[in-house]
């Protein structure tokens, strides 16, 4: 591949630099995707700490106005009594 222009060597150097960057971007994309899945799983897992009577009311469609999955994922008290106080319809 010897030529007067040196083009193959120059192209090789460009690809030699570019390939690891592309591979790293692929790994970052995969890592970001996995992290998002773990984060989502963590938010969903928190819902298992919801008081049983609140779960039953939600399943019946009797949840109060303003109570949504987003609210529960963002601001869910750890203790059942605190949850019941926050959403007064269950006190």
How does pLDDT run across 16-54, given as a tens digit for each residue? 776 677 777 777 788 777 777 777 787 778 888 888 888
- Domain residue limits, the chain: 1-45, 50-91
Answer yes or no: is pLDDT of 6 > 70. Answer: no
What is the pTM (predicted TM-score) of this model? 0.53
3-state class (DSSP) for residue 88: helix
d(CA 25, CA 55): 42
Q: Which residues, other chains included, contact 50 with Cβ-Cβ below 8 Å and sequence gap of 6+?
A: 72, 76, 83
- Helix%, strand%, coil% for the chain, nearest 5: 75, 0, 25
């Amino acid at each position: 591949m010897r030529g007067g222009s040196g083009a193959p060597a120059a192209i090789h150097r460009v690809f030699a630099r570019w390939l690891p960057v592309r591979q790293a971007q692929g790994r970052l994309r995969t890592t970001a995707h996995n992290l998002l899945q773990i984060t989502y799983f963590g938010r969903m897992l928190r819902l298992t700490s919801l008081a049983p009577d609140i779960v039953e009311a939600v399943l019946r469609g009797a949840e109060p106005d303003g109570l949504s999955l987003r609210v529960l994922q963002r601001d869910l008290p750890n203790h059942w009594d605190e949850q019941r106080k926050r959403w007064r319809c269950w006190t």
